Structure 1
Amino acid sequence: MNKIIVRIKGGLSNQLFCYAAARRLALVNDAELVLDDVSGFRYDKYKRRYQLDHFNIPCRKATPAERLEPFPRLRRYILKQMNKYRPFEKRTYIVQEGIDFDPRLLHTRFRGTIYLEGYWQSEKYFKDIEPIIREDLRINSPLDRMNQEMAKKIRECLAVAIHIRFFDKPGEKSQNNLPSSYYKKAIDYIESHLQNPHYFIFSDYPESARELIPLPDSRITLITHNKGEENAYADLWLMTQCKHFIIANSTFSWWGAWLSQFRDKIVIAPAIVRRGEGAWGFKGLIPEGWLLF
């Protein structure tokens, strides 16, 4: 039987990308998909943890042997080196090269067991199985009163999600945080196309984010109650309940917009291009139909 063991790693949104690309590769190869939910987090410098248990994912977790235990770091290193110079289609340990969309993954066919590692941040890796990915990534809604009441408020209005991520702390000189001018232009566009929308702000610094939005308090709701990485899924769930989106240079709000089921949604994304940490605007990242400002 064919089998893919995918190494899940990173924050919540990158874990979703890891999964989605692997799910498609498994389907087209008639392979079992197995999730390594341990090794990618063992030495994570941000202390992040596996978060895909909050979704409707039908795959099993890897056994210790499938995680290359014992001595997993050494064995993984040897496998990577052995595969590094093989033709892409003959590799048994596939590691993403660069960040741009790589069509070679779509055409990969194999027999036996392979390992897959990378973020694969493009819907092109799974666009042809979109209904399956949407079903798998249906979020198990939080049941607490605050999230349920906020979801009700979102559904009852023309809700626009605004995501403002601070890569650098508010007030610090930064080339990573988006300028207020981006949000102003995006809001002007929304205001010219929608009648009386209400804006829901998602941010790691909500109060500072509020200062960037030139609208009266009556038209804004700050989402502040889901604290910590372990509750990121709840903010993502709330975001998906919105109808339109002004996203940050962040794959978190990328997924919030993508997972929304609203048919006529407007999605506005920043038109910047960055490499390295916090990369954005690379080939394949922004889906067709999204607006770049």
Structure 2
Amino acid sequence: MNLKILVFTGGLGNQLFEYAFYLHLKRKFPNERFYGLYGKKLAEHYGLELDKWFRVNLPSQPWWVLPVTGLFYLYKQCFPNSRWLDLNQRDWKHPKAIVFFPFKFNKRFIPNKQNWIQWKVDESALSEYNRKALVEIRQSNACFVHVRRGDYLSVNYKTLFEGCCTSEYYQRALAQMKEMHPDVRFICFSDDIPWMKKNLELGDNAFYVDWNVGKDSPLDMYLMSQCRHAIIANSTFSYWGARLGQEKECVFYPKKWWNSEHGNPDIFLDNWIGL
């Protein structure tokens, strides 16, 4: 078959990894026809967000993609070793697969050029709060700090993330950033700002962003992308805040991304600092 189907899932951070892998496949198979499936798994977050926030050309979803993909999944149940499907989340296992789970958590599928994907954000249409945040970011030696708690503390994620990206990690990163850049201005993002204020030594010069919620939350990623430095959480959201937009001078990441027998995903740039 001269076609490939990509099943998109997850939130915006995951969708960016999926789009990067789609571009990788297109380069490898210039004569193939590509189709996308944008189904129920996207609805667990805010649906397909990628084309709302970025200038992208996504594969189309004709009516037959869903039933055909369903047949391939059924075939996989009967023949688990089938190479027609590639559902691995870390690497590209089956070169000739037809159905792909395109969330490949690996930096080697991300284009090397800085401008491989472009934001669609119109800064002139931003709220007064976001315009003020951009002024704070661009007029200072800005380092964003992202703390993700919320769903990571739930029963579903506790086993995977407990003991990772600790307050000690943040304290070490903050201390090193202050030592390297005494004039640093911390731009703070979190689903638990009170926890940040109570537990982290951010100083009197910190600026807190707490108004972009729900479907507007990608604006936090946009603001992150405009900063000069980054202290990221173990989250694809702040990972892309560090990768996109202005090229970062200094990025800190947690050495323990999750509790996995396979260790950390291979997503970090060589000049990033793991703590």
TM-score range, shorter chain: 0.7 to 0.9
- Pair 1:25 & 2:22 matched: no
CA deviation after TM superposition for structure 1 residue 39, in Å: 4.5
- Pair 1:287 & 2:274 matched: no
CA deviation after TM superposition for structure 1 residue 226, in Å: 0.3
Q: CA, structure 1 residues 79+242, in 2 after alignment: closer, same or farther (shift >3 Å)?
A: farther
- Pair 1:211 & 2:198 matched: yes
Which piece of structure 1 moves more, 30-39 or 198-207? 30-39
Matched residue, 1:51: 49
Say which of 269, 272, 280 aligns to 2:256.
272
CA deviation after TM superposition for structure 1 residue 12, in Å: 1.3
Matched residue, 2:37: 36
The TM-score, its normalising length taken from structure 1, stands at: 0.79
Asked whether the 8 Å contact 1:249–1:280 carries over to 2, the reply is no
- Residue type matched to 1:141 in 2? V
State the alpha-carbon separation in 2 of the partners of residues 177 and 274 from structure 1: 6
Matched residue, 2:77: 81
CA deviation after TM superposition for structure 1 residue 36, in Å: 1.9
CA deviation after TM superposition for structure 1 residue 119, in Å: 2.0
Matched residue, 1:224: 210
- Pair 1:144 & 2:126 matched: yes
Q: Secondary structure at the match of 2:25?
A: helix
- Residue type matched to 1:102 in 2? D
Aligned residues: 263
CA deviation after TM superposition for structure 1 residue 195, in Å: 3.6
Q: CA, structure 1 residues 189+272, in 2 after alignment: closer, same or farther (shift >3 Å)?
A: same
Q: Secondary structure at the match of 2:42?
A: coil
Identity of aligned residues (%): 24
Asked whether the 8 Å contact 1:201–1:210 carries over to 2, the reply is no
Superposition RMSD in Å: 2.8
- Pair 1:159 & 2:142 matched: yes
CA deviation after TM superposition for structure 1 residue 51, in Å: 0.8
Q: Secondary structure at the match of 2:153?
A: coil
Asked whether the 8 Å contact 2:18–2:102 carries over to 1, the reply is yes
- Pair 1:125 & 2:109 matched: yes
State the alpha-carbon separation in 2 of the partners of residues 249 and 84 from structure 1: 31
Matched residue, 1:95: 87
CA deviation after TM superposition for structure 1 residue 60, in Å: 3.7
Asked whether the 8 Å contact 1:37–1:61 carries over to 2, the reply is no
Q: Secondary structure at the match of 1:248?
A: coil
Residues 204-226 of structure 1, C-alpha deviations (whole Å, 9 max, x = no match): 11122222221323x10111110
Q: Secondary structure at the match of 1:139?
A: coil
Instruction: Structure 2 unaligned segments of length 5 or more: list them.
Output: none
Asked whether the 8 Å contact 2:233–2:253 carries over to 1, the reply is yes
- Pair 1:253 & 2:253 matched: no
Q: CA, structure 1 residues 68+147, in 2 after alignment: closer, same or farther (shift >3 Å)?
A: farther
Q: CA, structure 1 residues 83+254, in 2 after alignment: closer, same or farther (shift >3 Å)?
A: farther
CA deviation after TM superposition for structure 1 residue 177, in Å: 6.0
Q: Secondary structure at the match of 2:98?
A: strand
Asked whether the 8 Å contact 2:164–2:257 carries over to 1, the reply is no
Q: Secondary structure at the match of 2:207?
A: strand
CA deviation after TM superposition for structure 1 residue 9, in Å: 0.5
Asked whether the 8 Å contact 2:91–2:106 carries over to 1, the reply is no
The TM-score, its normalising length taken from structure 2, stands at: 0.84
CA deviation after TM superposition for structure 1 residue 287, in Å: 2.5
